[in-house]
């Protein structure tokens, strides 16, 4: 399986502290602070458990996503990735964490936002690359476990799949040890080839 | 693993051959555009006719509130005038009469996740739309849709758009008969029909089962049919009150009665004849006056009818006109469960309020149609999948989209409703607001539309939230009002037919642009969009929620017993309402409160700098240009055949491409030219070769002779070896290039075509 179009979601601790619509202003300020990197902000705050607020760019989207009724930062890679599958997974995790860190440090959010870095949801947003089957999961599992061990600093790691066949191929990785985004990023140590484009 | 496959290979025979072929053609046209072999304007109309639309900022510029940023798209490749290839775009998906299935929901959910932003949007014409789609993804997207029986073909562009119909057709108490089979047959018959390919603007068609109710909105359409019956020789026969020339847009026109009883067998031929008259006489250059409504206004209905009758006489019989009539009485749908009434069943909390607004008792005992309200017409991929599961639990393939941007579940056994309600509530779609003031309809506006002036969705979102919070306290008369919002005067949000409508405008206040909405009151959704509202005045966008409260409270205070809103507005007059809103038109200065100088849900300082050139109108591309583009594609196919070692097939395909190019040139002078190669070449010779119009300054008639030689070669059944095939393909390319030059020469007025009377082909 040659991975492409990877999505990664890190979940927010205490999501009630910030209104979803507050992220609209933050994302617009990110656009103003860069030059031509992002295209747009899409506001889906009227939907329950929907895509939330999406910052759209050509290479990847970053959103405060509410799907599954759990708020998190969803990083959706669109531009082609290079390297081995493990490198690709690391790159996308790194880019997602970079964006989490930027949001945590965002002055407008007054330190009220924290992400739990001991849990991440990885999905393959291309059913041609992989359907959500046991076979695909088995093919992917080894690479995800290896990266997850690195991400979580060797702590106990579990990886599991939501087996609903209509969903994207997905792997939920967790560690029992609490961890913040700075530590997780240090653990990854690999710099994402795409992180720079979105941070 | 499947990764070596692409969607075309993976789906294989699941893609209906006809749709598959269409998508292959489009994919080839994309390749040709990338190679610079199709003009950008022609390609724009080509993609529009496949539902592939532009989107805001696709000209590579975006105002960030402080300055204009250049978006780094590849400047060398465009998909239309001033529209970058890599810029995200919109895809419109045609759903004739709004009929969808659970399987289609699942596919839409997957596609929205993979190619869009996870949202499937229901439009005000029963279509679906995705936004932020890259054009390179569209062939795969189309194939996956085709595999579940959906096409995007002719969803945009100057063609017949989605054919709409009452979502209650077939289950309604008041309908004369079920219009579903007629809407279906119309959509099928007119899609891709040669007589509907040369319009100056789009054509919208709607069906209604009755005169009095709003669902069909017939009178705001270019063509509209209301079901009627008549007794002829003691037998009840079916037909339609048939209307033409309606339309919203900046200046709304009510459709005129064309025929008070058009027999069912005359429905399709009449539409075909109207299409011909419109294609022939409709305005092509000034798109602002190119809809049928302007042609009818110019000619008068009587003259228009006369021309249509003449055209009708010329049409050769087509079995498709009546074949479908054999099955119009067959049941089109069935229920999953027995129809059992609700009596005695336990009602969950919130159920009664929802039942009151969202449930319609079908004329079939024990069954109901339940509306699932989608906020702003949006459904997430999770919600769509859940709706597919819910559909399989309670009904069969009996789902419809509505023009109010919701989903209707038909044939639900009433006894199942409490369970059904809990299921949709669990996915956040249990709002009790269908067809109420809370269920605000909106076009995309500045969120994604290139022509948007103000944020219609932002305003709709704000109104939904505010009205939703107090909906239980609202008086019934207010609750039953409808609000519709458009981002500009083009009225895609259908503001003209709302009780309270708005459309986006900009006003300059002390040197600052301020988003405003024009308030339009008293439109009638009922009686098939029976009245259009009157503009009252402009109110700053951020004051609109107050304006809604002021108007509705005034209505409650001053309303005479049971007086309808339209009558109330007519009675008190425009001036009184304008005076009422006067205070709201004033806003603090920019230094005191900046919030008035930005739009809903968008903190940027308001500007019109992001407006682009819209594609709603499509590009007016002549049939000659289309045919020349088709010849390029056919030659490309010939090249593929040659590359695959099929020299003989390649030669035939190359010859066909030359004939196609010749046909393109002839079409400008004789739109009715046949498909027969002998006739095409004869006319080409007469009009372009003998007159030397086709002649090159240096090469003389050489390129035309390539065509004659190829005809002779193919006609003689000679076998082509690889060398001869290569040569013939090269000659074909030269001929097609010369055809383009000739077309440009004639169109550009450098040369003029001699007047030769068109030869009408039999059956053309
Ligand atoms: S009404 Fe205007 S803003 Fe809305 S979709 Fe139509 S053209 Fe765009």
Q: What is the pLDDT of residues B261-313, one digit of tens each?
A: 999 999 999 999 999 999 999 998 887 789 999 999 899 999 999 999 999 99
DSSP notation for B188-201? HHHTT-GGGS--SS
Interface list for chain A against chain B, based on CB atoms closer than 8 Å: 1-2, 5, 21, 24-25, 28, 31-32, 35-36, 39-51, 54, 56, 58, 61, 63, 67-68, 78, 125-131, 135-136, 139, 166, 168
Q: Among A5, A29, A35, A40, which would you mutate to test the B interface (most chain B Cβ atoms within 10 Å of its Cβ)?
A: A40
Q: Look at residue B764 and tell me whether its pLDDT is greater than 50.
A: no
pLDDT band with cut points at 50, 70 and 90 for residue B4: low
Residues contacting B717, CB < 8 A, separation 6+: none
Q: Are B668 and B624 in contact (CB under 8 A)?
A: yes
Residue B179: other Cβ atoms inside 10 A: 28
Residue B114 reports pLDDT greater than 60: yes
Query: Which tokens hold the place of B438?
Result: 């809370």
DSSP letter, residue B561: T
Cβ <8 Å between B383 and A50: yes
pLDDT in tens, B726-738: 889 888 988 888 8
CA distance B316 to B610: 50
pLDDT, average across residues B77-91? 96
What burial class does residue B580 get, using C-beta atoms within 10 Å of its C-beta: 0-12 exposed, 13-18 middle, 19+ buried? middle
Least confident segment among B17-31, B169-183, B671-685: B671-685
Strand locations in B300-413 (E): 359-361, 367-372, 378-380, 399-401, 407-413
Whether residue A76 contacts residue A63, with contact meaning beta carbons closer than 8 Å, is answered with yes
Best of B55, B445, B489, B602 for a ligand 1 pocket test (most atoms within 8 Å of beta carbon)? B445
The DSSP bridge pattern shows strands B89-93 and B128-133 to be antiparallel
Q: How far apart (Å, rounded) are the C-alpha atoms in residues B700 and B680?
A: 21
Instruction: Kindly give the pairing relationship between strand A114-124 and strand A157-160.
Output: unpaired
Which of A62-71, B661-670, B744-753 is predicted with the least confidence, judged by mean pLDDT? Answer: B744-753
In this predicted structure, the answer to whether residue B757 has a pLDDT above a threshold of 60 is no
Angle formed at CA B460 by CA B442 and CA B454, multiple of 5 degrees: 75
Residues facing A10 on adjacent strands: A73, A120
Considering only CA atoms, which of B184, B161, B160 is closest in space to residue B323? B184
Is residue B676 scored above 50 in pLDDT? yes
Q: Which residues of B touch A50 (CB under 8 A)?
A: 118-119, 378, 380, 382-383
- Region B606-624: mean pLDDT is 73
Give the model confidence (pLDDT) of B215-241 as tens digits: 778 889 999 999 999 999 999 999 999
Answer whether B545's CB lies under 8 Å from B464's CB.
no
Q: Are B453 and B487 in contact (CB under 8 A)?
A: yes
Alpha helix segments (H runs only) across B12-73: 17-34, 40-48
Query: For residue B105, how many C-alpha atoms fall within 13 Å in the half-sphere facing its CB?
Result: 28
Mean pLDDT of B174-197: 96
Please give the pLDDT value at position B627: 86
Tokens of B657: 């491409």
Which 723-752 residues of chain B touch chain A by CB within 8 A?
A: none
Give yes or no for residue B444 CB within 6 A of ligand 1: yes
- Stretch B421-432: mean pLDDT: 97
pLDDT tens digits, one per residue of A118-139: 999 999 999 999 999 999 999 9
Among A33-37, B459-463, B636-640, name the most confident range: B459-463
Q: How far is the CA of A167 from the centre of ligand 1 (A)?
A: 34
Predicted pLDDT at A194: 39
Determine the pLDDT at residue B618: 53
Domain ranges in chain A are: 6-188
Residue B106, pLDDT > 50, answer yes
Q: Partners of B399 in the beta sheet?
A: B100, B409
Show the tokens assigned to B655: 């010859």
Query: Residue B555: which pLDDT band, with cuts at 50, 70 and 90?
Result: very high
pLDDT, residue B741, reads 79
Tell me what the mean pLDDT of segment B133-154 comes to. 97
Q: How far is CA A185 from CA B519, B581, B672, B756, in A?
A: 53, 56, 68, 76
The residue-averaged pLDDT of B567-578 equals: 92
* Centroid of ligand 1 to alpha carbon of B486 (angstroms): 6
Q: Which residue of B has its CA nearest to A66?
A: B380
Taking 70 as the threshold, does the pLDDT of residue B208 lie above it? Answer: yes
Q: How far apart are CA B21 and CA B630, in angstroms?
A: 13
Which residue did the predictor score with more confidence, A181 or B508?
Answer: A181
Q: ipTM value of the model?
A: 0.94
Tokens standing for residue B427: 């996915």
Distance of alpha carbon B285 from alpha carbon B213, whole angstroms: 37
**Ligand 1 atom at shortest distance from the alpha carbon of B453:** 3
Candidates B91, B106, B192; CA nearest to B147 is: B106
- The number of angstroms, rounded, from the C-alpha of B24 to the middle of its chain's C-alpha atoms is 22
The predicted pLDDT at position B616 comes to 60
Does ligand 1 come within 6 angstroms of the Cβ of B468?
no
Domains, chain B, in order of start with CATH, read: 2-146 (no CATH), 171-327 (3.30.413.10), 351-426 (3.90.480.10), 436-611 (3.30.413.10), 620-764 (1.20.120.330)
**Measuring CA to CA, which residue among B382, B252, B259 is closest to residue B309?**
B259
CB of B454 closer than 6 angstroms to any ligand 1 atom:
no
Q: What backbone torsions phi and psi does residue B76 show, to the nearest 5 degrees? A: -85, -10
Q: What is the mean pLDDT of chain B?
A: 91
Which pLDDT does position A13 carry in this prediction?
Answer: 96
């Amino acid at each position: 399986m040659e991975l492409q179009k990877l999505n990664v979601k890190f979940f927010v601790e205490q999501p009630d502290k910030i209104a979803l619509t507050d992220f609209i202003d933050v994302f617009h300020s990110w656009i103003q602070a860069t030059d031509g990197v992002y295209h747009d902000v899409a506001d889906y705050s009227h939907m329950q458990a929907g895509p939330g607020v999406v910052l759209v760019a050509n290479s990847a989207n970053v959103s405060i996503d509410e799907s599954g009724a759990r708020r998190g930062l969803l990083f959706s890679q669109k531009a082609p990735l290079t390297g081995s599958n493990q490198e690709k997974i690391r790159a996308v995790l790194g880019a997602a964490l970079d964006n989490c860190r930027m949001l945590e440090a965002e002055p407008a959010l007054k330190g009220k936002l924290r992400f739990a870095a001991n849990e991440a949801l990885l999905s393959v947003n291309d059913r041609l690359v992989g359907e959500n089957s046991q076979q695909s999961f088995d093919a992917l599992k080894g690479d995800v476990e290896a990266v997850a061990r690195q991400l979580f600093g060797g702590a106990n790691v579990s990886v599991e799949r939501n087996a609903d066949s209509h969903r994207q191929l997905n792997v939920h990785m967790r560690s029992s040890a609490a961890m913040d985004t700075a530590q997780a990023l240090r653990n990854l140590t690999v710099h994402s080839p795409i992180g720079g484009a979105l941070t | 693993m499947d990764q070596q496959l692409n969607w075309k290979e993976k789906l294989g025979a699941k893609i209906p051959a006809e749709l598959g072929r269409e998508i292959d053609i489009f994919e080839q046209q994309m390749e040709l555009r990338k190679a610079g072999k199709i003009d950008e304007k022609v390609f724009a109309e080509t993609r529009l006719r496949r539902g592939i639309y532009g989107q805001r900022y696709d000209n590579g510029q975006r105002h960030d509130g402080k300055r204009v940023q250049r978006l780094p798209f590849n400047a060398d490749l465009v998909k239309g005038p001033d529209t970058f290839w890599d810029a995200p775009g919109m895809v419109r998906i045609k759903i004739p009469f709004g009929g969808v299935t659970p399987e289609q929901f699942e596919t839409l959910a997957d596609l929205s996740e993979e190619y869009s932003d996870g949202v499937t949007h229901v439009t005000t014409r029963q279509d679906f739309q995705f936004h932020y789609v890259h054009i390179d993804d569209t062939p795969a997207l189309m194939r996956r849709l085709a595999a579940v029986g959906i096409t995007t073909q002719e969803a945009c562009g100057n063609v017949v758009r989605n054919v709409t119909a009452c979502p209650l057709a077939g289950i309604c108490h008041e309908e004369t008969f079920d219009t579903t089979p007629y809407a279906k047959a119309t959509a099928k018959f007119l899609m891709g029909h040669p007589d509907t390919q040369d319009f100056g603007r789009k054509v919208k068609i709607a069906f209604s089962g009755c005169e009095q109710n709003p669902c069909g909105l017939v009178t705001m359409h270019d063509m509209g049919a209301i079901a009627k019956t008549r007794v002829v020789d003691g037998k009840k026969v079916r037909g339609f009150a048939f209307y033409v020339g309606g339309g919203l847009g900046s200046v709304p026109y009510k459709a005129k009665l064309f025929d008070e009883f058009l027999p069912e067998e005359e429905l399709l031929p009449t539409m075909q004849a109207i299409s011909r008259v419109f294609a022939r006489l409709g305005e092509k250059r000034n798109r602002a006056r190119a809809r049928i409504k302007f042609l009818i206004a110019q000619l008068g209905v009587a003259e228009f009818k006369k021309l249509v009758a003449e055209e009708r006489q010329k049409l050769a019989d087509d079995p498709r006109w009546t074949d479908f009539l054999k099955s119009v009485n067959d049941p089109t749908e069935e229920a999953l469960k027995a129809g059992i009434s609700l009596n005695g069943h336990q009602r969950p909390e919130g159920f009664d309020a929802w039942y009151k607004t969202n449930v319609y008792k079908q004329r079939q005992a024990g069954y109901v149609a339940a509306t699932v309200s989608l906020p702003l017409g949006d459904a997430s991929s999770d919600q769509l999948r859940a709706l597919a599961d819910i559909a399989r639990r309670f009904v069969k393939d009996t789902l419809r989209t509505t023009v109010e941007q919701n989903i209707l579940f038909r044939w639900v056994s009433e006894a199942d409703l409490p369970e059904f309600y809990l299921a949709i509530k669990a996915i956040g779609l249990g709002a009790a607001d269908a067809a109420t003031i809370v269920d605000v309809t909106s076009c995309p506006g500045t969120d994604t539309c290139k022509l948007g002036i103000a944020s219609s969705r932002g305003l709709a979102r704000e109104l939904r939230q505010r009205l939703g919070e107090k909906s239980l306290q609202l008086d019934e008369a207010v609750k039953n009002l409808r609000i519709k919002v458009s981002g500009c005067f083009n009225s895609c949000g259908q503001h003209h037919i709302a009780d309270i409508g708005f459309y986006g405008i900009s006003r300059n206040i002390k040197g600052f642009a301020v988003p405003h909405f024009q308030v339009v009151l008293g439109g009638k959704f009922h009686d098939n969009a029976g009245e259009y509202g009157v503009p009252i005045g402009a109110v700053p966008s951020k004051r609109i929620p107050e304006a809604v409260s002021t108007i509705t409270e005034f209505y409650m205070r001053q309303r005479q017993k049971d007086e309808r809103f339209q009558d109330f507005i007519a009675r008190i007059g425009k001036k009184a309402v304008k005076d009422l809103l006067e205070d709201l038109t004033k806003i603090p200065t920019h230094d005191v409160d900046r919030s008035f100088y930005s739009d809903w849900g968008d903190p940027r300082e308001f500007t019109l700098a992001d407006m682009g050139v819209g594609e709603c109108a499509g590009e007016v591309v002549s049939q000659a240009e289309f045919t020349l583009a088709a010849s390029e594609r056919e030659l490309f196919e010939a090249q593929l055949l040659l590359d695959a070692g099929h020299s003989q097939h390649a030669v035939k395909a190359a010859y066909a491409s030359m004939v196609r190019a010749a046909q393109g040139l002839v079409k400008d002078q004789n739109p009715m030219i046949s498909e027969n190669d002998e006739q095409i070449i004869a006319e080409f010779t007469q009009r372009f070769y003998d007159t030397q119009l086709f002649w090159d300054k240096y090469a003389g008639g050489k390129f035309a002779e390539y065509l004659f030689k190829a005809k002779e070669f193919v006609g003689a059944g000679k076998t082509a070896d690889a060398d001869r095939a290569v040569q013939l393909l090269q000659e074909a390319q030269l001929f097609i290039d010369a055809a383009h030059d000739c077309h440009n020469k004639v169109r550009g007025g450098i040369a003029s075509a001699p007047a030769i009377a068109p030869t009408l082909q039999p059956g053309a």
